[in-house]
Structure 1
Amino acid sequence: MSDTPLIMVAAGGTGGHLFPAEALAVELFKRGLRVRLVTDARALRYSGLFTPELTDVVPSETVRGRSPVALAKTALKLTAGGVKALMLMRRQKPAAVIGFGGYPTLPPLIAARLCGVPTIIHEANAVMGRANKLLSTRVSAIATSLPGVLDHAPALAAKATVTGMPMRPAILAAAGVPFVPPEADGTLRLLVVGGSQGARVMADIVPGAIERLEPALWRRLALVQQVREEDMARVRVVYDRLKINAELAPFFSDLPARLAATHLVVSRSGAGTVAELAAIGRPSILVPLPGAIDQDQFANAGVLERAEGAIRIVQPDFTPDRLAAEMSALAAEPLRLTTMATRARAIGTLDAASRLADLVIKVARG
């Protein structure tokens, strides 16, 4: 085995967890360290930095219900994952383990602590998630993407460092593109994204909002919208009838570049989305995902709203009339769009991967 220190990153198999883990790994590789990913089976579909040779799959499960049967199944799966993670720690002997949130991080982080390995958690949201809450008192250090996450818990705040959200190279490249406001009668570029849990509401509300705009604004719009396959026909028929210049797709692989090219974003407010909007500096209308126990998206959107870089609309108020009114007002005030872009950019962090790597190395060295 190499004498080069090994850092293990633990992350669930979704982009929201894997992207910052990968960004950190790139920075650690640059510094000459070895990095392995510990994750659940979902990440096997992922074709990024972490090849199968650099990936260890540990069984895990998210709490999906409160019934005794559901809780028992989750406990059994996590226990099995813990046993496998314990064997993995003893075999690989990492210098430190860092978790990026979600229940898949529980087995490796707990196993690392049992083996005396230094541990870190990274909290992406403005409020701490449930898995990180369970781990927070047991880990060596806590990194947060946003300030003030642990203001209510002085004991935890004492071991916390604000590092920001590690960014993919494509986001860092997009951050170098300056915001150019639309001309008074020029093209207004609108980007609408929703993610796996948000595209439905965007399909329900945005076409109706576009329909309520002044016809003069229809001719100015260059619309890019994420639309699920099952919603595609009903959304397209509205835009075709209005003769809107619209590009619709279920997924955009070049989303960072599209963010950089837009004048206004309408989106959910997941941690990654909010961090990317701040890093690139783009005005947004944010609609937090309702019903979450932690209300993390509501808090995330609040960070940009308080900075005056975004407008937050809770879903019950997210109606075609409200959205049309907000878009019309912004389209009529290019200077306001520029101000929002500047304010969003002011709270963005581009060197988060470097900051987090510094913390990981410091903790690994004890």
Structure 2
Amino acid sequence: MTQVSPPLVLLAAGGTGGHLFPAEALAGVLSARGIEVDLVTDSRAARYAGHFPARRLHVLPAETVRGRSPVALARTALTLGLGFVKGFRLMRALKPAVVVGFGGYPTVPPILAAHYAGFPTLIHEANAVMGRANKLLAPRVTAIASGYPDICASIPALAAKAQHTGNPVRPAVIAAADIPFAPLAADGPINLLVTGGSQGARVMSEVVPAGVERIDPSLRPRLRLVQQARPEDLEAVRATYARLGVAAEVAPFFADLPARIAGAHLVISRSGAMTVAELAVIGRPSILVPLPGALDQDQLANATALATGGGAVVMPQSHFTPASFAALITRLAGETGRLETMASMARAMGRADAAERLAALVVATGRIHV
């Protein structure tokens, strides 16, 4: 009797955790359904994909557009072209049921290669506005999944094949979502989590400790800080909190970040798509400081969406000063029930089942029978 091989889904993700995390969440759901998963990525992301739940890892050449000079553009085009040629051969060899891309230029060669080799394709856009790589791919793919509703509404041809699935989050985030928000007691501790992305943000180290110093001495002893900081900022941040007598745990990385989010009364953070998704699924209020200068203004759009739903306060970096931070913390601490209400509103926007919803779309797009 001939043994039938299980269907193969090829996930294309690279660049940052914001692309790899939702791909990892999807891989877990697909594997549980008996579907084999391979990961195709670039050499940079391959270094961080050692624990990715995939059968095999495939590396294709890829390059981000880093400048507008003819030399830079030619180098990018050449690298992406080489990635496309190798990707086309890979598709012919693997014959995947469907290829799923998660944004960023490392997904361009495999998605285009799959399209021209005749295989179904799907892209997932995590942000509230579509990124440049996904904009390039969107007209050519079979289906589009989005972390936010209506991101394709202005283009009927794209809207017709778009579906709002939400942003898949890691199992650790789903587990943290079971931890209820602890209401802020009138004179109790105020747990603040400060994070700036996988590498920490310099602005957080510059503004938050200086802002804490400006908070009234009667309120300051209630603060309990967990802060992510760049290695070069650790000593200065720790020294400031020690001088102020504020309880603080400062480190460059927290492996258990979802649990830290769940333990916080308030999170101060950038507003990458996966950060916002995790805040919503776990249900925690936040002060969001979007990364300035981004061409797509994706972090501003993400933060605005959560703030419009009542779950966050947006502070543009130009307004994120020690004085404004101290004033906002003081106000939130004095408004009994405000943080609990924000937590509920953030949670109402979360989609804990996003990985399952995306998996269902992948199965339908690839016409997979499981």
* TM-score bin, normalised by smaller chain: over 0.9
In the other structure, the counterpart of 1:222 is 224
Cα distance in 1 for residues equivalent to 2:115 and 2:68: 28
Match of 2:65 among 51, 63, 66: 63
Cα distance in 1 for residues equivalent to 2:162 and 2:363: 15
Cα distance in 2 for residues equivalent to 1:213 and 1:151: 44
Deviations 1:8-42, CA, capped at 9 Å, x for gaps: 00001421111100100110011111110010112
- Residue identity opposite 1:264 in structure 2: L
Cα distance in 1 for residues equivalent to 2:50 and 2:342: 33
Mapped pair 1:234 → 2:236: yes
Deviation at 1:47, TM superposition (A): 4.8
- Residue identity opposite 1:162 in structure 2: H
Match of 1:171 among 173, 176, 179: 173
3-state DSSP class of the match of 1:311? strand
Deviation at 1:54, TM superposition (A): 1.5
**TM-score normalized with structure 1 length:** 0.97
- Residue identity opposite 1:6 in structure 2: L
In the other structure, the counterpart of 1:199 is 201
- Residue identity opposite 1:237 in structure 2: A
In the other structure, the counterpart of 1:73 is 75
Deviation at 1:182, TM superposition (A): 1.8
Deviations 1:310-330, CA, capped at 9 Å, x for gaps: 000111111111111111111
Mapped pair 1:282 → 2:284: yes
Match of 2:129 among 127, 130, 155: 127
**1:31-180 equivalences in 2 (<5 Å):** 31-47=33-49, 49-50=51-52, 54-180=56-182
3-state DSSP class of the match of 1:121? strand
Cα distance in 1 for residues equivalent to 2:336 and 2:73: 52
CA contact (8 A) 1:13 1:41 kept: no
3-state DSSP class of the match of 1:334? coil
Deviation at 1:356, TM superposition (A): 0.4
Cα distance in 1 for residues equivalent to 2:344 and 2:280: 9
Cα distance in 1 for residues equivalent to 2:88 and 2:338: 54
Cα distance in 2 for residues equivalent to 1:51 and 1:156: 31
Q: Which moved more, 1:12-21 or 1:157-166?
A: 12-21
Cα distance in 2 for residues equivalent to 1:87 and 1:114: 11
Deviation at 1:157, TM superposition (A): 1.0
Structure 1 vs Structure 2 CA RMSD? 1.4
In the other structure, the counterpart of 1:210 is 212
- Residue identity opposite 1:286 in structure 2: L
CA contact (8 A) 1:36 1:50 kept: no
Cα distance in 2 for residues equivalent to 1:120 and 1:290: 29
**TM-score normalized with structure 2 length:** 0.96
Match of 1:16 among 1, 18, 22: 18
Deviation at 1:89, TM superposition (A): 0.3
Deviation at 1:50, TM superposition (A): 2.5
User: Which structure 2 residue ranges, 5 or more long, are not aligned?
Assistant: none
Deviation at 1:49, TM superposition (A): 4.0
Aligned in 2, Cα 1:258/1:47: closer, same or farther, shift over 3 Å?
same
CA contact (8 A) 1:9 1:36 kept: yes
Cα distance in 1 for residues equivalent to 2:367 and 2:49: 31
**1:284-363 equivalences in 2 (<5 Å):** 284-363=286-365
- Residue identity opposite 1:331 in structure 2: A
CA contact (8 A) 2:27 2:53 kept: no
Aligned in 2, Cα 1:266/1:169: closer, same or farther, shift over 3 Å?
same
3-state DSSP class of the match of 2:153? coil
- Residue identity opposite 1:120 in structure 2: L
User: Which structure 1 residue ranges, 5 or more long, are not aligned?
Assistant: none
